Structure 1
Amino acid sequence: MKRKRWGSLGILAAALLTAAISGHAQTGPAQTGRDQSSSPAPLRQGFETAWARQPEQRAAGLRRDAAAAGLRAAERWTPETAALDLSTRSDRWHRNDGAREYEAALSVPLWSPGERAKSQAAAQSQAQAVDALLGAAQWRLADEVREAYWTRQRARIEHEIAQQKLASAQGIARDVQRRVTAGDLARADAHQADSAVAVAQSAVAEAAVAEAQSAQAWAMLTGQDLREGPQEPLPAPMPLTAHPALRELQARVDLARRQQDLAGVQTRANPELSLGTTRERDARGERSAQSINVGLRIPLGRLSASDARLANASADLLEAQSQLDLETQRIDARIALARTRVELLTQARDSAQRRAALAGESRGFFDKAFRLGESDLPTRLRIDLEAFEAERQAARSRLEVGAAISQLRQALGLLPE
């Protein structure tokens, strides 16, 4: 029997990558792409478990308690606690005529004009800043969780594709070996098929390492394994003022402004009101006289640290306002880019799906033609390779659309669902 040889190594490699396409038409990369879409339940659950492990979440209760304590302090009638002064006077160390004097006084600090209202406003801003700080921390963590999620998904689909390539290579190698045994192909063709199997096995090993690394990163971040789920919903337009990062910066601006106002009235020490009583006698045997004392202490001049405190508060306000303006522009541009990316990737996904459908139909036509002897083997292998690449691209396109929607939700400041 006359031996038939394949004309090129490229055709054989194409065959090794495309065998078993028909058997995987419903369970291959196209189905894998549907399985790899983003899932609200796993993503949301992963975020919640990751947030429970964060230092910000653990300290949130104490920060709220501190803010509430500051607000209670600003609502008191005095800026500081009252002080009790006790004193006595006697002549027993020099004349010992029996002169005695006892004095007790209560000193109460008073708020400076406008200080109490401005302290309350600053304390209220501080309490609001705590919630804004936690919201921004959640948003930043959501970015890490989403990145780990999609890295894990990409690694898994690449591993599955590599496994399918290996199965194809092994199937072609078995077919080539049978034809070599039958005398239709040369031994060199079998060696080339075995070499392609080894290459596919190496690719599977590399993909498995990448998948294991992504799985470990996800587990370290969330403390759980990743499971499948549907895609995150496409978000509706929302105002920038609701963005967690901007709310945090706006809270910083408000707090800096309130602290600047407070520093503007805290230029002098607080006045003090004193109320006391004095009991005294001039000599032994005389009756003791008692009197009531009322006093008011008014500091004069400015505090030495008031100018520095006011300057620091003004600098904090300017810095916070500048950061808010820059971050608003950056987030606005990020949202616009994310929306454009979703639109373009959606178009690419639709095109890839149409290409995969057409390639599948063409593969069926050429398979039938090959069986009838109306098409040669190189053409059949080329059509199979094109169909496999089209299905793989369609699967990846579906995955990238899900990732782009997730990035758009992140840009809008939305937490995982």
Structure 2
Amino acid sequence: MYCFDSAARQSRGRSARGLLGVTLAMLVLAPQASQAGSGEPAPFDRPQQAVVSPGVDAGHAHLPEVSSLATLVEMAWARSPQARQLEGAAREAQTQAEAAGAWFPAAPTVSLGQRSGSRPGQRPLREQEVAVQAPLWPLGQRSASQRSAELAQAYAGAAVVAHRLALTRQVRERVADLALADVRVRQARAHLADLEVLEADVKQRVRAGDQAESDALLVRQDVLLAQTEVRQAQLDQMEAEHAFHVLVGEARPPSDVSSERLESMLPPINEAELSLSVDEIRQRLSQHPAMLAAQAAAEQQAVRQDLLRRGASAPWELGLQHRRDQEADVNRITPSWGISVMIPLAADPDRRQAAVAAQTAADVAQAEARRLADQLETEWLEAQQGVRHQQAMLDHMQAASAAAQTRAHWIRKAYALGEMSLTERLRAELSWQQAASRVMQQRAWLAKARARLSYAQGAQ
């Protein structure tokens, strides 16, 4: 199996050595006074223009492009096996509510019978009998069943909302991963394009006898390493697109995952929400969809345990019989009515086993609810700090990028006047490119942090 992370680390190491090679190659270049005098821009004058937009994966080029968050979440919901399970649980809860509102805990039965014959020395007889047997609700069991059905419906509804919230978070994270992969591809292609321009210039100088053949070989080595970087970045991008398609299915990610696109997929966050106390966080977490689902599940299991404890024995059954005797030779009919009650004398072993299982399920549901409360609280606090730090890092990156751009502009002017070496200009332009790329990467990391905080807050 190919290891993307290991290859990415190797490519970053080769990138560092490649940049050193570019610097060494540029050290031997003479300042291009004629080019500066003619007003033509140098290869590194505008690093953003060297960026080539990433291509679309050929295997998914025929799919429609979807950029709406709501549409992507609906597509992920349609593909989720857990969503099908939750929808089935909702239907089961509705059926349970209907059964809890019935007159009897189980279906009544009707029996029909007829006998005919005669005894020695007696007239022939013909007997007909109709009997109805109906189970009875134990005391308090019907109300407990209705309460259990209500909690089952509440759990099903809350679980659906919680799963949609989790899918929303996953979609946002997948889009942010696509943005990160897109930035890496753009950066790698821009670096390769600049090296190819440099290689062409070095080859021209080698043919003119101004530089040695070893300089061309050194630049060629860096070009090959840069091509490897581009391929590795494309593999990482394909991996991010694959994860996106596994989640949402037949859809193509947005072709331009910009910072504005990421912002549009996230709910707004103000400073007050990043400064909530622990007590305020706990109060708001009590209304989190996942917490509501866990609480409803724990309460439902407790009611179910009490329900099975009350009904450890089989239910009583009330019977009503009607019998009609008819003597064949005299055509005389004698009707009679009867009533009966069937009372079980011992507990049903299956029901006792179900009661023990319900006790275990109730204990597990309560433990899961407590653990989920701690987990959501920890995730909220960590997400708060994560957003704060990522936002601060973005501010620093933007300031550093602006400073690098200004410095590159000044050094470009000084180089044109012959007051700065080519080495300094190369370093300044490379620093500007890297700073601009880090800003775009940091925006994607901030989007992932905000997606995590939105999930912890229960916000769609």
Q: TM-score range by the shorter chain?
A: 0.7 to 0.9
* Residue segments in structure 2 that go unaligned for 5+ positions in a row: 1-19, 28-41, 55-65, 274-280
- Please tell me the residue identity of whatever aligns with 2:161: G
Say which SS state the counterpart of residue 349 (structure 2) adopts.
coil
Output the CA distance in 1 between the equivalents of 2:50 and 2:221.
Answer: 27
Percent identical residues: 26
Task: Indicate how the Cα distance of structure 1 residues 251 and 120 shifts in structure 2: closer, same or farther if over 3 A, else same.
Answer: same
Say which SS state the counterpart of residue 22 (structure 1) adopts.
coil
Residues 38-57 of structure 1: matches in 2 within 5 Å?
Answer: 41-57=67-83
Tell me the residue number matched to 1:328. 373
In structure 2, which of residues 168, 183, 186 is the aligned counterpart of residue 142 of structure 1? 168
Is 2:46 aligned against 1:23?
yes
Residues 180-329 of structure 1: matches in 2 within 5 Å?
Answer: 180-222=206-248, 223-227=250-254, 228=257, 229-231=261-263, 232-235=266-269, 237=273, 239-280=284-325, 284-285=329-330, 287-329=332-374
Tell me the residue number matched to 2:409. 364
Say which SS state the counterpart of residue 86 (structure 1) adopts.
strand
Task: Decide whether the 8 Å contact of 2:177 with 2:444 is kept in 1.
Answer: no
Is 2:168 aligned against 1:123?
no
How big is the shift at 1:299? 3.0
Is 2:99 aligned against 1:76?
no
Task: Indicate how the Cα distance of structure 1 residues 283 and 359 shifts in structure 2: closer, same or farther if over 3 A, else same.
Answer: closer
Output the CA distance in 2 between the equivalents of 1:56 and 1:376.
Answer: 63
How big is the shift at 1:146? 3.3
Task: Indicate how the Cα distance of structure 1 residues 208 and 364 shifts in structure 2: closer, same or farther if over 3 A, else same.
Answer: same
Is 2:119 aligned against 1:97?
no
Is 2:23 aligned against 1:11?
yes
Output the CA distance in 2 between the equivalents of 1:200 and 1:133.
Answer: 49
- Please tell me the residue identity of whatever aligns with 2:113: S
Output the CA distance in 2 between the equivalents of 1:192 and 1:338.
Answer: 46
Greater relative CO (CA pairs within 8 A, separation 6+): 1
Task: Indicate how the Cα distance of structure 1 residues 209 and 283 shifts in structure 2: closer, same or farther if over 3 A, else same.
Answer: closer
How big is the shift at 1:284? 4.5
How big is the shift at 1:164? 0.3
Aligned length: 398
Task: Decide whether the 8 Å contact of 2:183 with 2:437 is kept in 1.
Answer: no
How big is the shift at 1:143? 4.3
Q: Deviations over 1:194-252 (max 9, x none)?
A: 22222112211221222223223322332211113241234465721333332332222
Q: Deviations over 1:280-329 (max 9, x none)?
A: 25785373222222333333343334433322212111111001101110
How big is the shift at 1:397? 1.5
Task: Indicate how the Cα distance of structure 1 residues 261 and 235 shifts in structure 2: closer, same or farther if over 3 A, else same.
Answer: farther
How big is the shift at 1:46? 2.0
* Residue segments in structure 1 that go unaligned for 5+ positions in a row: 1-7, 33-39
- Please tell me the residue identity of whatever aligns with 1:233: P
Say which SS state the counterpart of residue 332 (structure 2) adopts.
coil
How big is the shift at 1:159? 0.6
Task: Indicate how the Cα distance of structure 1 residues 391 and 291 shifts in structure 2: closer, same or farther if over 3 A, else same.
Answer: same
Say which SS state the counterpart of residue 242 (structure 1) adopts.
coil
Task: Decide whether the 8 Å contact of 1:176 with 1:185 is kept in 2.
Answer: yes
- Please tell me the residue identity of whatever aligns with 1:151: D
Task: Indicate how the Cα distance of structure 1 residues 14 and 85 shifts in structure 2: closer, same or farther if over 3 A, else same.
Answer: farther
Output the CA distance in 2 between the equivalents of 1:194 and 1:298.
Answer: 94
Tell me the residue number matched to 2:424. 379
Task: Decide whether the 8 Å contact of 2:297 with 2:365 is kept in 1.
Answer: yes
- TM-score between the two structures when normalised by the length of structure 1: 0.85
Q: Deviations over 1:320-349 (max 9, x none)?
A: 100110111012111111111111111111
Task: Decide whether the 8 Å contact of 1:109 with 1:272 is kept in 2.
Answer: yes
Task: Decide whether the 8 Å contact of 1:12 with 1:193 is kept in 2.
Answer: no
Tell me the residue number matched to 1:153. 179
Task: Decide whether the 8 Å contact of 2:50 with 2:194 is kept in 1.
Answer: no
Task: Indicate how the Cα distance of structure 1 residues 281 and 43 shifts in structure 2: closer, same or farther if over 3 A, else same.
Answer: closer
How big is the shift at 1:390? 1.8
Q: Deviations over 1:125-182 (max 9, x none)?
A: 2222222333343344334433432222211110110000011111222333343344
User: What do you get for the CA RMSD once the two structures are aligned?
Assistant: 3.0
Residues 389-404 of structure 1: matches in 2 within 5 Å?
Answer: 389-404=434-449
- TM-score between the two structures when normalised by the length of structure 2: 0.78
Output the CA distance in 1 between the equivalents of 2:228 and 2:350.
Answer: 70
How big is the shift at 1:96? 5.0
Tell me the residue number matched to 1:3. none
How big is the shift at 1:264? 2.1
Task: Decide whether the 8 Å contact of 2:308 with 2:355 is kept in 1.
Answer: yes
